Structure 1
Amino acid sequence: MAILPIHLPDASWYPAKGDRATLFLRFIARRFLVFGILIAFVLFTISRMFYGREAFLEISGTSQERQHSRWPGVRLPPLYSRYHQYELALPQHHWHATSHEDEPKFFFVPGHTWGLGWGNAMQEILLNAYLSYKSNRANERHSRFVFYNYTWNMDPSQDYSDYSGKPIPSRVPLSALIAVNHIIRIEGPIVGGAFPDGQHAPFAIAEEYYRTICEGRKRVLDREEIHKEIGSSMVDPITKGWVQKLSTVDDQCVEVARGQDGGIYTWIIFGEKDAMHDVWADFAASPIITHFRWSPLVELAFDNNREVFAPTTVFEAPLSTIPYAVPSAQRYAMMKGLLALHIRRGDYAVHCDGLANWSSSFLSFNSLQGLETFRIPEGGGWGENTPENIAIYRRHCFPTVEQIVARVSEVLRSESARGLESVYIMTNGAVPWVEELKTALLNTGSFKHVSSSRDTVLNWEQKYVAQAMDMLVGQRAQVFIGNGWSSVTGGVVVMRQANGFHPDSTRFF
């Protein structure tokens, strides 16, 4: 075996004197290099951790440092950045395309509801999306529905708005309230998801995408002129009139000029008790309703608070475990044993007096055929009413604890109320008042469990979409008693009726 020659100095563990200083310096340099790399790594890790934490806090809205000069020292609401980014990343948004001419038409209603509660916004969104769907069914060239934020403040420079002295988000992306899943493409047609099989309608797009690619080439339709030709405040002729008008427009980017009262479907239409009668069957059977699904954020809030609403059995699966493809009627099946009450407080007393003074009927969503009706008392004037009539409106619109208990006791005698054991109170009432009501309901001896919106536990993002979670509870309750003039009640009623709940199980105060 051959052995390579070895130079003696290299074979010794102890180098010659002349080399020792050099090696010592090398030794020190190596140690400093290793030490420097270690320090850099530690600093990098800390910075990433800090950056990641700040990024997370910014997204989730939990940073205590984020403040605003208008609300010093107050924790600001979340801005739902993740949801905005998710919507803009939908695959139907061809941001980098050189041309958009081969895309379907776009239909946008910029004069939509803003500055009002979620119930008001939701009822209009459902009908705007339905109109777009009907337009697609009637025309060869399909159009994309342009969905928009739930908006409290239209000013893009104002991230926060003042609500009774407290900050709220000026804009909440629709995907934080209504579901969309573009990965499996099986539900969420309102917010950019797929329509069910056999429905060849294009995916909806976000307002920001529409405004970007349609800049300088929009066709604006005169809302006032078209409605003058339609000559009706009923939803069916309004929808058909707009479908006919849209069929004559070949422009790719089409939007509706804001009218004196707002968009296409206004508060006047929603206040007309018969407005939904002729359109109801088709509306309820459309994918806008049959494939309506609440967002994962709302459903998670529901799952986390399921035991608050009513005790469950071991056989009931959380909503988050139910497959996405399950239609709304099966997904949101009845919760047996639960009575849900929707009771408005706060400044609603003033609103009720206004309703009385104008002898208002229930809203259109609360006046569907088969439901109990409100008989407008005689003797009222135009802008004024008698004290007796105002008291009647108050009993239905702003009931006292005693009146609520009396109404519940009355409904308990109906066939649909058999087996009720729990009560969930959907309310914005002050905690002391809510506790008084809970005690009064328990003292009737009819219920084992009574809870309210004030008992739920929500994370920071869920807090600002809590109305949607309450609507989901009301939608699934065995019996629901609501406020006939409330749009939140209206959203619950529409979903209950469309999902096949017996009309006798849906009541009003």
Structure 2
Amino acid sequence: MQEVLLNTYLAYKAKRSFVFANYTWNPDGSLYSTYNGKKIPSQIPFSVMIRGPSVGDPLPEGSHAPPAVSRDYYEKLCKDRKTIIPRHEVHDHLSSPNNAQEITDAWLAKLNSISNPCVESKKETDQLYNYLVFGDPKAMLEIWPSLSTSPVLTHFGWSPLVELAFDTNRHLFMPVSPLIPYLSGQPFTTNAERYTMIPGLMVVHIRRGDYEQHCVNLANWGSTWLAFNSFPEMLDQFNPPPRGGPRGELAIQEFYRPHCYPNIQEIVERVHEVRRTPAARGVRKLYIMTNGDRAWLAELKEALRRADDWDSIATSRDLVLNLEQKYVSQAVDMLVGQRAQVLIGNGFSTVTSNIVTMRMANRFPADSTRFL
């Protein structure tokens, strides 16, 4: 999602229309793909997950840029008159290749030198903002003040489908009160006004499944937390240990594991610790964003209840979703995490990073966002 937001931001700064496509698992044109042995849609329209400037919604008054357009419209309009730019033509001249501000400025200069309205980067030459950018803790520091106040983030929103799922399941993470308005059906205003903090809610992001091996890989690569999880004002920072030592790779992997793939005891201890901080005062509900299996989650819930007194503990597996919402369930989780009084995220996760982006853009206190 962050790549889409930054590409939208670049188009906005260049006063051009951003071209959005479907979220695509399999680009071969097939209707279905296979993931973990199950059939899933090969393509999901971004508009069933988000709303805002990135998917063609109107920009706020005073924004001197055209709205985003769909890829189908772009292909029809620009089929025979595209200017195609290989990525290296711009990036070979960068002094800091992972600096998002420098990348944006270089592409702005390139786009402003081209009169043709139909411009795209060459597909085979990598993304403008690639995984190295999003994985560099310093990559976003310079661009953040401008990006965070641009319509790309101030008018970002979750789709009506996602908001309806949130409203349907609000008893899992919100106080029961007729005074708290539902999201669905209400006119959209701004990101900050719509997605306010939910008092009393703590959200924890726990990855299982393939993350067990992924965490080993992260340790072997010497990875840091993602860029949007590395704001300097946050209380939790991650500094990889030096390579070498008597135990070598095993020691480094064990250093990473509690932050990336913690066991039940480590999760309970971290939740207990953060709950006793000033930012968590009054927290009574716990929601666990997770892909863990139900048996493991039942064990985790019981351990959390033994350690602390909670009004309720719920997980992603407790959500009641219709058929369409099941394919955007991570977006539902992100909306819940975005609004939590306290978030305990996984610093290596792009899902956590998406949530942190919105919390910081909406001026949530830095000490309300913590990490495993």
Deviation at 1:386, TM superposition (A): 2.6
- Give CA-to-partner distance per residue, 1:332-380, whole Å, 9 cap, x none: 0000000001111001010000000111110111112312210211235
d(CA) in 1 for partners of 2:187, 2:154: 15
Could you say what secondary structure the match of 1:230 adopts?
Answer: coil
**Aligned positions of 1:345-356 closer than 5 A:** 345-356=208-219
Deviation at 1:153, TM superposition (A): 0.8
Deviation at 1:276, TM superposition (A): 0.4
Q: Does 1:247 align with 2:112?
A: yes
Q: Does 1:370 align with 2:233?
A: yes
**Aligned positions of 1:75-94 closer than 5 A:** none
- Alignment-derived partner of residue 25 in structure 2: 152
Deviation at 1:252, TM superposition (A): 2.0
**2:133 aligns with one of 222, 244, 269:** 269
d(CA) in 1 for partners of 2:74, 2:240: 45
- Give CA-to-partner distance per residue, 1:221-243, whole Å, 9 cap, x none: 12112100123211010001101
Q: Does 1:131 align with 2:10?
A: yes
Q: Does 1:423 align with 2:286?
A: yes
Gaps of 5+ in 2: none
Q: Does 1:170 align with 2:33?
A: no
Q: Does 1:508 align with 2:365?
A: no
Deviation at 1:323, TM superposition (A): 2.4
- Give CA-to-partner distance per residue, 1:372-424, whole Å, 9 cap, x none: 2102112359xx95322211100000000100011111111211000000000
State whether residues 272 and 308 of structure 2, in contact with CA within 8 Å, keep that contact through their aligned partners in structure 1. Answer: no
Deviation at 1:259, TM superposition (A): 4.9
d(CA) in 1 for partners of 2:248, 2:359: 33
**1:198 aligns with one of 46, 62, 72:** 62
- Alignment-derived partner of residue 83 in structure 1: none
Over 3 Å counting, the alpha-carbon distance change for 1:210 and 1:364 in structure 2 is: same
Letter in 2 for 1:153: N
d(CA) in 1 for partners of 2:101, 2:176: 41
d(CA) in 2 for partners of 1:380, 1:310: 47
Q: Does 1:317 align with 2:317?
A: no
State whether residues 335 and 478 of structure 1, in contact with CA within 8 Å, keep that contact through their aligned partners in structure 2. Answer: yes
Could you say what secondary structure the match of 2:158 adopts?
Answer: coil
Highest Rg: 1 or 2? 1
d(CA) in 1 for partners of 2:228, 2:56: 25
Q: Does 1:302 align with 2:175?
A: no
Provide the alpha-carbon RMSD of the alignment: 1.3
d(CA) in 2 for partners of 1:408, 1:446: 12
Letter in 1 for 2:81: R
- Give CA-to-partner distance per residue, 1:137-185, whole Å, 9 cap, x none: xxxxxx21111111111111x1000001101111001110112xxxxxx
- Give CA-to-partner distance per residue, 1:41-70, whole Å, 9 cap, x none: xxxxxxxxxxxxxxxxxxxxxxxxxxxxxx
- Give CA-to-partner distance per residue, 1:173-211, whole Å, 9 cap, x none: 1110112xxxxxxxx211111111111211111001111
**Aligned positions of 1:109-124 closer than 5 A:** 122-124=1-3
Could you say what secondary structure the match of 2:199 adopts?
Answer: strand
* Larger mean Cα displacement after TM superposition, 147-156 or 461-470: 147-156
- Alignment-derived partner of residue 298 in structure 2: 435
Percentage of pairs with the same residue: 49
State whether residues 357 and 380 of structure 1, in contact with CA within 8 Å, keep that contact through their aligned partners in structure 2. Answer: no
Deviation at 1:327, TM superposition (A): 1.1
d(CA) in 2 for partners of 1:275, 1:475: 22
d(CA) in 1 for partners of 2:177, 2:307: 25
- Alignment-derived partner of residue 337 in structure 2: 474
Q: Which has the higher contact order (CA 8 A, sep 6+)?
A: 2
**1:234 aligns with one of 95, 99, 117:** 99
**1:465 aligns with one of 314, 328, 331:** 328
- Alignment-derived partner of residue 139 in structure 1: none
Q: Does 1:282 align with 2:151?
A: no
d(CA) in 2 for partners of 1:409, 1:415: 13
- Alignment-derived partner of residue 346 in structure 2: 483
- Alignment-derived partner of residue 121 in structure 2: 256
- TM-score by structure 1 length? 0.71
**Aligned positions of 1:20-39 closer than 5 A:** none
